[in-house]
Amino acid sequence: MSVSIRRRLTLATAALAVGTVAMVLAVVYFATASGLRRSSQNAVREELATLVERWQHDGIQGLVDEVERRSREPGAFAYLLASESETHIAGNVREWPEGDAEQGSGEHVPVQLQRADVWLVKHVQLESVRVGDKRLLVGRDTSRNDALLDALKTASIGGLVLAAVLAVAAGLAVSHNLLGRVETMRAKIAEILRGVRHERVEVSPRGDEFDELARQFNRLLDENDRLVEQVREATNNIAHDLRTPLQRMHARLEAALAAPTTSDETRATLEALSADTHRLLETFNGLLQIARIEGDDLRRHASPVDVASLVDDVVDLYGPLAEEAGIEIRVDVPPGLEVRAERQLLGQALANLIDNAIKYAATGRSIEISAERADDGVHLAVADRGPGIPEADRERVLERLVRLDSSRSVTGTGLGLSFAAAVAHLHGGRIEVQDNDPGLRIVLHLSDPGSDPAGEDAGTDAGA
């Protein structure tokens, strides 16, 4: 499943911000915890060093008196002077804790600590040392430090959640600002590809990279329109210049055929020349008609067209021809299906598809005409049971004047599918050549007004 750029940009922005905040909070938390631990450890060692100095100066009794005195003072320290067998001698700790380490370990262990004649279990950071044949333990209550670290942890989690929310909001804002302009450009480009060739991508006064991209794209469109117009004008001029002498030639041939003095042998030659001239005129007329479709904004003449009625009209026109060829035309178009289109052009495109199907469908088989409503508009299809077209040639047959070797023996100009493709493009859609297994299925994708063809469709339109 593909993920949109908007979502990826939002997630990347949020991940970067949350990751940075998480690293900062982790550093603060562990630095604070390490600082509190070192502070408690230094205080315990200083207290232990003072008591050891008292023992060295006044002996064991002086140490006992000092431990008892300090044990009665309010504070956070824990004291215990015990014999070698860990029997309590003095201090506010009831018994020697299990698993205490030697001096310098700074272990955190639970002990029973006397506070105002009440024995409480407290976690202390302790240090111990031997004083003669006795053992001296000094510890510091870490409950305040633990409470501070818990509060810091809670605040860090809250800050991380807040950072995540703000990061997602910032990511959405950034993606909306950046990709909103991209979306505007994409919508405008889609409109241009649907045939509104005079439209251009808007350029804001900010003059940033998006505006430079829009300017360059508009220049590309202008240059493309100029080149297309040159080619169209040259093609139209050639078609117009050649059509007139061809029409005169055809008229003279018809006049010669009608002359009573024309011999049978000459008449056969003149008929062949007249047929060739007629095909040339059809080709030039088809080229001019396609050029007119591509050059004019004929969609302003579009109106709601009932697809079922249009199909019935065209089928009535081609029904006798299909019957003569031994082919049955089957229609599957739901009633009430409408599309906004130029009726005459759409009817002619459908007629071209049916005419091709009749030419290439095998005798005794059928032609199926169907239509359906889709998300992107209306799909109108004509399918036959003929030999079909190889997959490699299905795009090429949409080009003008292209005729495959297998169709050379059938009369035609090679413009039928080109005309249908131009009509589909005029209505914001495309034409698709599919395998009917056996045979061929041609689908006209007609977009409703305001619909947005996908990028793939636009690319096919451009190619058609």
Look up tokens 């010669």; give the residue: 256
Q: Which of 246, 262, 288 lies at the terminal end of a domain, its last residue?
A: 288
Calculate what percentage of the chain has a pLDDT beyond 70: 77
Across the range 16-45, mean pLDDT stands at 85
pLDDT band at 406 (very low <50, low <70, confident <90, very high): very low
Q: Are residues 41 and 9 in the same domain?
A: yes
DSSP assigned state of 81: E
Q: Give Cα 459 to chain centroid, integer Å.
A: 17
pLDDT mean across residues, the chain: 76
Q: Are residues 133 and 238 in the same domain?
A: no
DSSP assigned state of 394: T
pLDDT of residue 463: 32
Does residue 201 form part of some domain? no
Q: What is the pLDDT of residues 45-85, one digit of tens each?
A: 888 898 888 888 888 888 888 888 888 887 768 888 888 77
Does residue 217 form part of some domain? no
Q: Are residues 276 and 308 in the same domain?
A: no
Q: What is the pLDDT of residues 201-228, one digit of tens each?
A: 788 787 777 788 888 888 888 888 787 7
Rounded CA-CA distance 316/318 in Å is 6
**Judging by DSSP bridges, how do beta strands 303-306 and 338-341 pair with one another?**
antiparallel
pLDDT of residue 462: 32
At 463, list the tokens: 């190619």
Rounded CA-CA distance 334/341 in Å is 18
DSSP assigned state of 93: B
Is 315:354 a contact under the CB 8 Å cutoff?
Answer: yes
At 6, list the tokens: 């908007």
Does residue 139 form part of some domain? yes
Rounded CA-CA distance 38/446 in Å is 77
Q: Are residues 119 and 62 in the same domain?
A: yes
Does residue 321 form part of some domain? yes
Across the range 171-180, mean pLDDT stands at 74
Across the range 14-32, mean pLDDT stands at 85
Q: Are residues 274 and 309 in the same domain?
A: no
The total number of structural domains that make up the chain: 3
Does residue 410 form part of some domain? yes
Does residue 166 form part of some domain? no
Distant-in-sequence, close-in-space partners of 393: CB < 8 Å, separation ≥ 6: 404
pLDDT at 157 over 60: yes
Q: Are residues 283 and 426 in the same domain?
A: no
**CATH number of the domain enclosing 59:** 3.30.450
Q: Are residues 17 and 45 in the same domain?
A: yes
pLDDT of residue 104: 44
Q: Which of 131, 148, 165 lies at the terminal end of a domain, its last residue?
A: 148
Q: What is the pLDDT of residues 274-305, one digit of tens each?
A: 777 766 666 666 666 666 665 555 555 668 88
Across the range 33-45, mean pLDDT stands at 85
Q: What is the pTM of this model?
A: 0.43
Q: Are residues 232 and 359 in the same domain?
A: no
Distant-in-sequence, close-in-space partners of 207: CB < 8 Å, separation ≥ 6: none
Q: Which of 115, 148, 181 lies at the terminal end of a domain, its last residue?
A: 148
Q: Are residues 321 and 367 in the same domain?
A: yes
Q: Are residues 137 and 273 in the same domain?
A: no
Does residue 262 form part of some domain? yes
**CATH number of the domain enclosing 430:** 3.30.565.10
Q: Are residues 450 and 365 in the same domain?
A: yes
Range of the domain at 107: 5-148
Across the range 303-309, mean pLDDT stands at 86
Does residue 441 form part of some domain? yes
Q: Are residues 345 and 426 in the same domain?
A: yes
